[in-house]
Structures are given as structure tokens and as C-alpha cells.
Chains A and B, each alone.
Chain A
Amino acid sequence: DQQVKQNSPSLSVQEGRISILNCDYTNSMFDYFLWYKKYPAEGPTFLISISSIKDKNEDGRFTVFLNKSAKHLSLHIVPSQPGDSAVYFCAARATYSGAGSYQLTFGKGTKLSVIP
């Protein structure tokens, strides 16, 4: 049972345009959401996060939107640059008392290609 879903395996966007990556989740206990970026042969690197008490978090060209009622979040990259081409993973954390609160649940990733 996949608790974090990224339904688009790939996305192509023209340089300078907006990239929108989507993520859906099923576990209502998730309270923190993260986006990681991964280049080939490298480990994922943290990009941006959002707490469930917020609906938007912005960091430079990157903005994450959270719609709790729809259990949906999205990552917007504006403007997109060729260096943004990578695989983007959505991840979520559920807060439990005791063990488990550190565990991240990842989606399968979306490969973004920004075309010059």
C-alpha cells in the first residue's frame, strides 16, 4: 500500500517556464512533508519542506503548496532552469509517540527534464 504517491514518472518543461510536481498521500497522520532532489549517482539532497500547519512555504524559486483536505502537495519551480533536471522525491513523516517519528515515507519520484 503506497502511502505517498507521485503519479507522474516524468515531466518535461521549457527553460524559464514553471515546473509543477505533484504528490498525493493517504496517511492522515503525516504532519511534515519534504521534497528531495536527486541527480544520477548521487544521494538525494533536501530541497524544501512544509509543516502540516501551513499551506505554503517558499524558498527562492521553489514553493511547496499543501492542501490537507485533498491530501495533496505540489512543488512549483519558477523559473525552471536546465540545472533543475533531476528526479524529485516527495517524502512525508508521521508523528507518533515513541519510535517511528523519524521515519520518512518516500514516493517513487518524478524525473524532471528542463529543456534549454
Chain B
Amino acid sequence: GAGVSQSPSNKVTEKGKDVELRCDPISGHTALYWYRQSLGQGLEFLIYFQGNSAPDKSGLPSDRFSAERTGGSVSTLTIQRTQQEDSAVYLCASSLASDRVYEQYFGPGTRLTVT
């Protein structure tokens, strides 16, 4: 069956531009998570959705970051006025329910490079 998909797989953008990263979770998964992995670092939690609502946005690094989820499915992570420190791999994961943490299924990630 189809897993979590993310697009684009790679994105190179100039500093100051806005970018949108997309995540298509596994069908039927109600919980969706965004993480990012900077070079040499572990995965850093950004935001979590249960359905279309985001109960916890505390991991978003700044107000330049926002995310939304529509129809309980696709999610978009938007970074405005990108900075070089935003360069990282952005990973999306989904799970059947938010309390089953260990059943998070990850997508392949979007590698963002800000020049």
C-alpha cells in the first residue's frame, strides 16, 4: 500500500523567498507530525495535527513557520522569508492515532537548501 509521500523531494531556494512543503499521509491516519533534521542533528519535532487541528505548535522555530492540514489528509508546511539556518531535511510522519507514538510512519523527507 501507499506510504507517506512528500513533495518536493528537493528544494533549493534563495534566502528571503517563501517555500511550501507538502505531505500526503497514509490514508486513514488521523495524526500527522512534522519534524526536521538539520545536518548532524537528530530529528527535531515541529508540529503535530490531530485531524485538522494542531494542538501543539510549540516546536515551530519561529513565526515564519506555519502549517495547515485540510480534510484530515494533506498537510502543508510553509516557511516564509527563508533563512540559511532553515536548510534541513523536513520529515513528515503519520499514525493511526496520536497516542500510538511508536506507529509513526515517516515519509522520505524534503531536503531544503536555502542559498
Measuring CB to CB, which residues of chain A are less than 8 angstroms from any residue of chain B? Answer: 2, 4, 6, 32, 34, 36, 41-46, 49, 89, 91, 93, 99-109
Contacts and interface: CB of A to CB of B under 8 A. Distances in A.
Contact of B55 (A91, A99, A106, A107): A99
A34 B102 contact: yes
A32 B102 contact: yes
B108 A43 contact: yes
A43 B43 CA distance: 11
B14 interface: no
Given A34-B102, A43-B91, A93-B101, A4 B42 contact: yes
7 contacts: A32-B101, A43-B107, A43-B109, A91-B43, A99-B55, A102-B99, A104-B101
Contacts of A102: 31, 33, 48, 98-99, 101
Contacts of B103: 46
Nearest to B33: A102
B65 interface: no
B108 A99 contact: no
Interface of B: 4, 31, 33, 35, 40-45, 48, 55-56, 59, 91, 93, 98-99, 101-109
Nearest to B50: A102
A105 B102 CA distance: 12
B55 A49 contact: no
Given A43-B91, A104-B45, A109-B42, A49 B102 contact: yes
Contacts of A41: 108
Contacts of B48: 102-103
A16 to B, nearest CB: 29
B4 A43 contact: yes
B4 to A, nearest CB: 7
Given A43-B4, A43-B93, A100-B56, A105 B45 contact: yes
